[in-house]
Structure 1
């Protein structure tokens, strides 16, 4: 689960299927077990909604990393003093080399690649909001210049910032698909 709507869907769908939910938050759910069928129902509901149960410690760490990076992007502007390797290491209380190895192993991409993809999607969102110009967006997202943002955006989308804005269409990816 990567957003508040995901939490709402999981809570609602499970309650409608008779699961006694204690708590649902990003990436976590707890429930009061009422019988042997509960886990099967939970799996079915999650699968129907494109979610899955994560049980390995590596997958749990990977999901925590994703959530922390998404939270970082939701708290704009990104502070220049936030080196995300230190940020992740501190917030997850784990050595960054372990965090990095586990993430790469479980996702097939580096944390840096994932974070760039998240930032590009955030840029698309900000462009579509029409609240900020490109310079302001580059500052909010933590780029040193609009030129750096433009180059990275074009590299990842194949379109310039202006081309994307002029398309007036939503070509954003869902965060759970990044």
Structure 2
């Protein structure tokens, strides 16, 4: 009997690999794995607490209630959109993926996370900007275009509001101040 595990803080390919290794150590056969969700072919009730504890030690968490599950699904969609430079209409992608209206999603997110969904998206975009600056492959206008800003001055203003410094100042830093995607709220 297949069992679905919903996992919080699973935000990248390395996370998927780590969780795959953990579940295989427990002799579980994985049917599918994607960000935030793993389907195993066996029932895990005998290993449930051990898996839950090991996930927690690795910085993950099994999701056991519906609202937490929805919040994690929202985060996964937003992170995927930004990672793939597919940010033209994140809200419509979220509503389509979850089958809920924008207002309900925004209220649930704000209540649960203590930050608006819009602010969360901006914070993730700013982390992506930091990544682009570190890679030093794009100029500021190209970065703004990739993240669907109307122009680079809009991005520059938002970057300064969030970080307290200009993008040029950030580029000059030796100590990059970046946050892990699962730590942004």
Report if TM-score (shorter chain) is over 0.5.
Answer: yes
Q: Is the 8 A contact 2:77 2:93 kept in 1?
A: no
Instruction: Give deviations 1:18-69, integer Å, cap 9, x for gaps.
Output: 4443333210123313662x00111111011011111111111111111111
Shift of 1:77: 5.7
1:177 maps to 183
Q: Is the 8 A contact 1:20 1:34 kept in 2?
A: no
Q: Is the 8 A contact 1:27 1:63 kept in 2?
A: yes
C-alpha RMSD of the superposition = 1.6
- Count residues with an aligned counterpart: 174
1:135 maps to 141
1:103 maps to 109
1:1-178 equivalences under 5 Å are 1-31=10-40, 32-33=42-43, 36=46, 38-76=47-85, 78-79=87-88, 82=89, 84-178=90-184
Q: Is the 8 A contact 1:124 1:172 kept in 2?
A: yes
Give every structure 1 segment of 4 or more consecutive aligned residues whose post-TM-superposition deviation is greater than 4 Å: none
Shift of 1:14: 2.5
Q: Is the 8 A contact 2:36 2:73 kept in 1?
A: yes
- Structure 1 stretches lacking a partner, 5+ long: none
Q: Is the 8 A contact 1:100 1:110 kept in 2?
A: yes
Higher relative contact order (CA 8 A, sep 6+): 2
